[in-house]
Structures are given as structure tokens and as C-alpha cells.
Structure 1
Amino acid sequence: MTTIRSVLLGTAAGLAAATAGQAADLPVKKAIPIEYVRVCGAYGAGFFYIPGTDTCLRVGGRARFEAGYIPNPNRNQSQGDSSQFRGLARLNVDARTQTGYGTLRAFLRLEFASRTGIFMASGTQQRIANAFPATGQDAFGRVQNFVVADKAFVQFAGLTAGRASSFFDFYAHDYELIGTTGGSDVPSTNLLAYTAKFGEGWSATLSMEDPNFRKNPVYSAAVAAALGAGLPTQFAVTTTAPTPIILATNAAGNATAVAFVDAVQRSRMPDFVGALRYDAAWGSAQLSAAVKDVNTGGFIGGAVLPAGTNGAALLATRGITSGSQTAYGWAVQGGVKVNTPFVAPGDGLYLQGAYGVGAIVYTGFTYFTGTYGSNLTPTQGAPFQHYLSDAVVNPLTGRLDLSNSFTVSAAYLHYWTPEWRSAFFGGYGEVGFGRGTRAAFSLTNGLVGSATPPSVVTNAAAFAVSPVLRDNAQVTAGASLIWSPVKDLDIGVEGTYIGTSVLSGRVADQTRPVTDASGLPVYTVRRHDVTQIRMRVQRDF
């Protein structure tokens, strides 16, 4: 046994020595050097070099919780919601590279959110395809989610291309949690812009922007099942957004020749925006302007007039050669921001005003009520609706009558201490339609049903209390209190007031649809007032 053990040990030792000798003859492979992440200080805190490149990258984001309450005593017709909630996630990626032409930048922002409650689940974002709703019986309109490319743009040598905030915007509800004041605020649109800097603090921008995010519908009404007296039964309407042009009537006042026009706006011309801006230590100022088109499609169907009628001659008397037409709207906006560190460090004041023709989204009158709808209630359960169209096809002239609107707003941010701050803000706006347009449209009531005012000729009393196409106004005010116990953490609450009114007379109260023996509404209102409160917990990084 001892002999066998000695032989085995000797053999193992010999093999080990031979292996060591062979290993000594092999080439030694050097370890791959490790490239550590380096801080990039050229663009501020948080940037680092992408290993192996000269590109600096910053990754950031946001987590937010919000809850709100708005009184709503009306619990009829699927209304009655008062509570609202939202959880939001945001991811930012900012990549910058220094070149011979200046900084090359790409910026991405993705947002994901779950929103519940009629007021937090935004109909505006759903109408513009930035969100999708639940479809359950108890959840439709009350539960909503979205995943949206909020930002995705490239900046290089003065050029900005991609999905970014509109260059028309200035204040854009900077100090507000809810966003109730007027003024343009389109944080995500597709654009191609060039910015030139000159002088000390001056810059000028020309921007070609996606028109679809700035179109509020041309007013139209659903066609009644039974068309007006004097029209043949074969007269067909094939679109969901028709608007009529009365070409002839009989002795009884009934329409005998009517053309229906497709009122859906097409995307035909980009919006063109120009902005002149000045930035200095005291603050900033901006003057911006925009030009956009408002358009309608052609006549509905093939034959738009009863058989045997000389349609071309009747249309020619109105100067109409085609059902499709285009008018041009415009808007201007001016704003100033004044830093007031002499009151407290971080304090600031915004003042802004805007006026537009056929450009209601640019003036921002619809920001709280809702956008991309021809008529909407200012809040759920309100007794009447805003009419918010960019234009109306006048049923007598056949021409596009553009609406006009304006807004003014002010906001002040004050730091009580470095950890506590408040914002105080308010605004006022009006929207109006051309003189006589509403009365002209009332003459089509027998053709298109209840979506037009009752006839001013045959039912003047009902016409007077109809909310359809009424000039209206909205006033807003609010204040907030926000606590930031540590950097990039906000815990705050905000209360707002919204008052909506018609500019003259009264309108029927649609929450109490009671009529007298003559068919007139028993209850009428002139204004609707509501308050809202919202709280937020937010962490940025």
C-alpha cells in the first residue's frame, strides 16, 4: 500500500511540473482596461459622458400623485363625479455633443399616467389621441390611461425639429397645478423651427407647426331624421358633420333649396408662428404671432339640391363656386415675466394677453373647459355649454364667419421661506361670434334639429334663451401652498374658482329642463360658478 501511494504521488507531481512548464511557454493576455463613467460639467449638474463617446447624457424623471375634489350636485345623465385621482410617471433623456456648429442636442420625454374621475380624465387629451379610456359601464369617461411621446426633438445650429412645445407659448401655466387661466399652452406639437440670437439677450424664431393641435371644430349640427318641408325624401346627407346653406325658400318660409357642406376641417396648411423674445437678469418678454387656416370640405354627396333646381345659379348668387373653402385665422400674444428677488429670492410675476380671430386654441380660452370640441360644458353638471368653434358657416351667405376671442392672465409666485411658497393667479377671457350669424343659423332649425337656436323669426322668445352660439366669458382665480422639505420634493395644495357666463341675457338651465305651457324654459341662468381643490406630491430627479 505504501509503495502504491508513493507511485501515485510521484506521478501527480510530475504531471504538475510538466503542465507548469507548458503554461510558462503560453503568451500572457492583458486585461481589458476599464473605462469609468466620467462627469460632464459642460452642461450643468447630472450629465456624464457615454463611455467611448464625447456625448454627454443626463437621465431624469418625475413621479407624481394628485387627488382633487370639485362639488357637483347634479347626478343625472351619468353626471355626479366629484373626486379625482392621478398617478404619473415621466422619463427624460437629454443628450448633448459639442460640435464646430455649437451644441447638438436630442431630448426625449415619455409620460405614463393613470387618471380617474371626470375632471382628471381629460376629454381634451382623449379627443386628440393622447389618451385612451376604459370601456366598462361604470368606468367609461372615469378611468383613463395614457402613454405619450411628450417630447422628442433635435436642436442643432439654431434648428429645432421634432415634437416640442409651441414657440407661440410663453407663460403656459408655469405657476399653476391645475391650469385654469387662459393663454396658449400646447406642450407637445410637431414642428420645424429656426431661432436666431442677436444683440444682448434677443432672439427671434420662425416656426412651422402641426395644424392639427390648433384646430377647434367648425360649428355644425346633426341633420334631423325628417328634413324640412319642401325638400324631397331622396335628399340624402352622408356625413356626421354637415352645415347647411339655405339657397331658396317658398312663400311659407320653408327651405326649398339647401346645400349641405362637410364641416370637418382637413390638415391642409401648416401653422406659421413667429416669436420675438428678450431675456435678461430682470426677467423676460415675448411677442408672438401665428397664422392658420380654417377650412371646410366639399358639398355632401353628389346632388346637393332637389331635382330640377338650377343649383349652380343659386350658388353663384351667393358667390359660392365650391363647397370647400378656406379662411385664414390669426392670433397675437404678448407676455412679460419680471423676477422680483427684492421681495424674496425666487419670486416672479407673469403678465400675459392674447387676441385671436378663428384661433381660439391660440388664445387659450378653452384651456380649462376643454379643447377640440365645438361646444362643451365648463365643468361636468354645468347648466349650459360654451360654444367654442373657430368658425361658423353662415347659412345665408355660405361664407365662413370666424369667431374672435381674447384672454388676459396674471400670476405671482412668492417664497415665504426657502421651503414654503405660494402662487396667486387669475385670468379673464371672452369668445364671440359675428353679428347676425347666430340669427342666420336659427333659420335652419327645421333642417338640422335641436342643435341650432330656435328660429328668431317664428320663436323669438326661445331664441333669446338658447345657449347655442352665444357670446360668453370666463373668469378664473386661484392660489396654492407648496412645501418642499428637501430638494426636488413638492407637497402642495391648490384651490381655484371658475366663473362662466353669457355676455348678455340668460340661457335655459339644462340641469332643470322644465318648460311652461308655451314650451319656454321655466329655469334660466346667466352664469355658472364652481370651485376646485387639488393636492399633489411630486418628486423630480
Structure 2
Amino acid sequence: MSTKSLLLGTIAGLAVIGAAQAADLPMTKGEAVEYVKVCSAFGPGFFYIPGSDTCLKIGGEVRAKYYGFGGTGFNRNDNRSAFDTQARVWFDARTQTDWGLLRSYFQIDADSNKLKGRGGGDGSRNLFTIDKAFIQFGGLTAGYAHTFFGLYDNEYGDTLEAGYYASFETVNLLAYTAQFGGGFSATLSIEDGRDHRVNNVTGNFAGVALPQGGQQVPDVVGQLRYDQSWGTLAVQAAAHQFRTGEALAGGIPIAPGAAGFIPHKNKYGFAVGGSAVIKIPAIDGWFVVEGQYADGALDYLGASGTVVANSDFFTTDAARVKGGKGWSITSELGGNVTPQLQAFLVGSYIDTSYNDFSAAGDASIKEFTISGNMVYTIVKGLKVGGEVAFTHGKLDKGFIFTDSNGRAHENYNQWLAGMRITRTF
């Protein structure tokens, strides 16, 4: 037998043995592969989490900002230009249950050099913040969400960086919204009052020490809302506690009657407001106006966004504790100039007063801001916008701006101009 014949015979024998052994093995099916499926129940971008009936949408945004600040010109430490890059990532998970929609939402923001205030001061580098984190189940909302006082900031507020005066806080809350049909709804929200404080830390307000006391009761916010195809009407109210803290000298409480003592007072403030939105179908736009009045609850006016610091309360020359009062209004007209180009014009005004502030009489801070911006969509998901804004303020009786040379000013102006490139996905 030749070598070639021997090799062929051996290979054939091995093949027969292998086939016989394979015949003895149990037959199995291939493992099922679970592919990601599109979830169309809640709009584009949602998909089913494999192995569950929960739909998830993951989104993100990167914003590159470039701004020049005219500033007030009172302080050489103010930045006249500032760059900032911000990244945003959000997760929206929804499940339809027998008891209604179960939703959880989470968004985190990361800033490379966050702009500090409207004066353009030094910011904090590489700052990570939770923008929102809440749970919704039926009419219940629980977690860190936008306050239910007002609607402008949460649903509109399309300026790029300029300020405006409206309730804009994201707060820890527990709320319930009841739907009555016909577009009517009502919300009762219990919100953390510490998130609604103005001058939240121990400091000086026009030279008077104002330590805030610890929270005893949360804020209570209520809103009635009417939504229709032509727009929205809403009215809202809030109750807010303000109370003095312990005045200290060298870490020791100051005794009553001694210099620097602040009376221990627990007081309550309030805010009321109204909002109206008129849709303009011809330009796929809107006109919105929102106004509010507050006494001892100035955060609901947007007072935290003013150039000059406001405060919920103050002490008079007679060592009395009183709440600051004021009102504010914001309006916006926005819409499409072309399918790719949007334009927005915003005007806003705030007036806060502190009666019997000093022997000179009542003190007040008045400020208005006008801003305009245009946003152009280059391709889907990529936009570039430009903005110009002007702010003017006036101080009366007891309030002054002091510049780096020690000169006093009762009026101030501030310009802002800049651009933002945004990629959304």
C-alpha cells in the first residue's frame, strides 16, 4: 500500500468516527439574540431597555460660549471677556403602568469655566452640577425639579446668557398636579425654602450683618393653569418663611442689647404672579409675559439674578427686622425669521424696596435688561447664536456702588455681547 493510500484511508476513518460521535450529541438551537427595539409611544429617540417594558431616551448637548462683558466699569477685577464650555447629558426613562405613566429624569451639567454672576467674575473650573433629577408618577412629581411658580423660565427663557427677572430656581420639591379636563390643571407643590432664599449665606447687606436662620417650614407653592391650542394662562402663589440666625462675635452668640445683636424673628413672606402665552402660528412663535409681586420672598421675582445683591429681609436703624418688597415683569417675543433662523427679543424689569431702611428713608434697587439674540441652524443638531444685551440699574437712599477707587455711584450700566455654538444629539 502506498503512502498516499494510507493517508486517505486514515482521513476517511476519522471522518466516520467524528460523524458517529456527533450523531450521539443532543441537538441545540442557537442562543436568541435580543436586539434593541424602537419605542414610538413617547416620541422620537426612545428605545426599549432590553428585557424590560421601559423606554429610555439618552440625549446630550455641548455648548461653546464666547462673551465680551462691558461690565459696570467700577472694578478692575471684573472680567471684560469670558469663555465657557458646557456639556450636558440627560436620561429620560418612561414606563406605562396600570396606574399611569412612571417617569424618571436625570440631567448633569459639566462646565469648564463657569461664568460667575452677571458681572463676569472669576468662575469655578471643571464644575459638575445636577441640573435636574426627579420622578413622576401620574400627577406626582418628586425630586430636584423646576419650581412650579411661573412658567417662563422653564418653558421659554430663550436668551443665550442675558439675565431676566422671573422665578428661575431648580429646587427640591414634592408636588401633585391634578388634571380637570378642558385644559385646566392645578398643582400644589411643597418646596425646600432654602432653595428660594436671597442672600442665603451669612454676609453683609448694605453694611448690616444678615445671618439666615435654619429652615423650620418649607415653601408652599400653588398654581392654576389653562392650556389651549392658542396659548396658556396661569396664576401662581407662594408662601416663604424668612428668619434671622444667630449673630456671632468670635464664634460666641452676641447677647441681646449688645452691639451687633440681631433680634430672633420668624416671619413669613409671600409672592403672587400671573403668566400668559399667545402662540403666533405664522412664525411658529409666541409672545409671553409674566409678572409677580413679593413681600419677604424676593427670589420669586428673580432678584437673585440682579447685578446688585438683594435680600429677603433686612434690619432697620431701630434694629427691627423687615422683609423686602418688590415686583418684576418679563416679556419675550420669539419665532422663525426663516426655517433655519430664529430671533428672540426679551425685556425685563425689577423694582425692590426696603422701607425704613435707614434714617435717610426707604431704599430701593431698580433694574431693567433688554436683550436680543438670533440663532441659526447650520445642519440638524448644530446651531450658532449671537446676543446683545444692556442692563441699567438705579440705587436709592442707602445703597451705593463703590468702585475700586472708592468713588460712590447710584447708577450703573452693563453691556453684554457674545455668541454660542451648540451641538445637540
Residues 71 and 205 (structure 1 numbering): CA distance in 2 closer, same or farther, change over 3 Å? same
Read off the aligned partner of 2:159 and give its amino acid letter.
E
Correspondence list, 1:366-385, <5 A: 366-367=304-305, 369=306, 378=307
Give me the whole-angstrom Cα distance separating, in 1, the residues matched to 2:402 and 2:320: 32
Q: TM-score, normalised by structure 1?
A: 0.71
One-letter amino acid of the counterpart of residue 315, structure 2: V
| CA drift at 1:284 | 0.7
**1:113-192 → structure 2 map (5 Å cutoff):** 113-115=111-113, 120-122=115-117, 141-172=122-153, 174-186=157-169, 188-192=170-174
**SS across alignment from 2:363:** coil
Shift of 1:299: 6.0
Which of 327, 336, 360 is the matching residue for 2:298?
360
Considering fraction of residues, name the structure with more strand: 2
Contact between 1:359 and 1:390, CA under 8 Å: does it hold in 2? yes
Q: Provide Cα deviations, 1:178-224, integer angstroms capped at 9, x if missing partner.
A: 141211111x21111000000300110001111221112379767xx
What TM-score, normalized by structure 2, do the two folds share? 0.89
Deviation at 1:531, TM superposition (A): 1.1
Aligned ranges 1:317-466 → 2 under 5 Å: 323-341=263-281, 344-367=282-305, 369=306, 378=307, 386-394=308-316, 396=318, 398-435=319-356, 437-439=357-359
Bigger-Rg structure (1/2): 1
Alignment partners' CA distance in 2, 1:358 and 1:524: 28
Please say if residues 69 and 81 of structure 2, whose CA atoms lie closer than 8 Å, have aligned partners that are also in contact: yes
Write the distance in 2 (CA, Å) between the matches of 1:302 and 1:75: 36
Aligned residue number for residue 33 of structure 1: 32
**Equivalences, count:** 417
Matched, 1:64 2:47: no
Equivalence for 1:92: 90
Report the alpha carbon displacement of residue 271 of structure 1 after superposing the two structures with TM.
Answer: 1.0
Whether 1:212 and 2:211 are equivalent positions in the alignment is: no
Q: Which amino acid aligns with 1:285?
A: L
Letter in 2 for 1:216: V
Deviation at 1:400, TM superposition (A): 2.0
Residue 486 (structure 1) shift: 2.8
**In 2, Cα distance between equivalents of 1:11 and 1:506:** 105
User: Where do 1:296-335 residues align within 5 Å?
Assistant: 296-298=244-246, 300=248, 304-305=254-255, 323-335=263-275
Cα 1:202–1:524 shift into 2, 3 Å = same
CA contact (8 A) 1:220 1:242 kept: no
Distance verdict in 2 for CA 1:408–1:503, change over 3 Å: farther
Q: Distance in 1 between matches of 2:201 and 2:192?
A: 21
1:82 to 76, 80, 85: 80
Deviation at 1:504, TM superposition (A): 5.9
In structure 1, distance between residues paired with 2:190 and 2:203 = 32
2:390 is matched with 497
With over 3 angstroms needed to count, the CA separation of the structure-2 counterparts of 1:394 and 1:75, relative to structure 1, is: closer
Distance 2:69 2:185 in 1: 42
Q: Does 1:271 align with 2:192?
A: no
Change (3 A) 1:48 1:364: same
* Distance (Å, rounded) in 1 between the aligned partners of 2:127 and 2:168: 19
Contact kept, 8 Å, 2:167 with 2:301, in 1: the verdict is yes
Contact 1:220 1:392 (8 Å CA) reproduced: no
User: Gaps spanning 5+ residues in structure 2: where?
Assistant: none
Amino acid at match of 2:190: M
Residue 317 of structure 2 contacts residue 358 of structure 2 at CA under 8 Å; is this kept in 1? no
Query: Do the aligned residues in 2 keep the contact of 1:365 with 1:430 (CA within 8 Å)?
Result: no
1:471 to 336, 345, 364: 364
Deviates more, 1:418-427 or 1:4-13: 4-13
Distance 1:59 1:402 in 2: 44
Change (3 A) 1:484 1:220: closer
Change (3 A) 1:92 1:508: closer
Superposed counterparts of 1:230-269, under 5 Å: 243=209, 263-269=211-217
* Aligned-pair CA distance for 1:102: 1.4
Confirm or deny: 8 A CA contact 2:263 2:320 kept in the other structure.
no
Say whether residues 1:535 and 2:419 are aligned partners: yes
Q: Which AA in structure 1 matches 2:379? A: V
Cα distance in 2 between the residues matched to 1:106 and 1:199:
25
| RMSD between aligned residues | 3.0
* Matches of 2:326 and 2:147, distance apart in 1: 19
- Match status 1:195 vs 2:195: no
DSSP 3-state at the match of 2:26: coil
The structure-2 alpha-carbon separation of the partners of 1:299 and 1:524, relative to structure 1 and needing over 3 Å to count, comes to closer
* Correspondence for 1:485: 378
Change (3 A) 1:122 1:473: closer
Cα pair 2:199 2:309 within 8 Å, conserved: no
Cα–Cα, structure 1 residues 323 and 121, in superposed 2: closer, same or farther, change >3 Å?
Answer: closer
In structure 1, distance between residues paired with 2:254 and 2:116: 41
Three-state SS of the structure 2 residue aligned to 1:212 is helix
> Cα–Cα, structure 1 residues 12 and 177, in superposed 2: closer, same or farther, change >3 Å?
same
Partner of 1:280: 228
CA distance in 2: counterparts of 1:184 and 1:73, whole angstroms: 25
Query: Do the aligned partners of 1:88 and 1:111 also contact (CA within 8 Å) in 2?
Result: yes
- Whichever residue aligns with residue 105 of structure 2, its letter is F
Conserved 8 A contact 1:218-1:393: no
Unaligned runs of 5+ in 1: 125-139, 223-240, 244-261, 306-310, 370-377, 379-385, 440-455, 457-463, 514-522
Shift of 1:304: 4.5
Cα distance in 1 between the residues matched to 2:413 and 2:174: 41
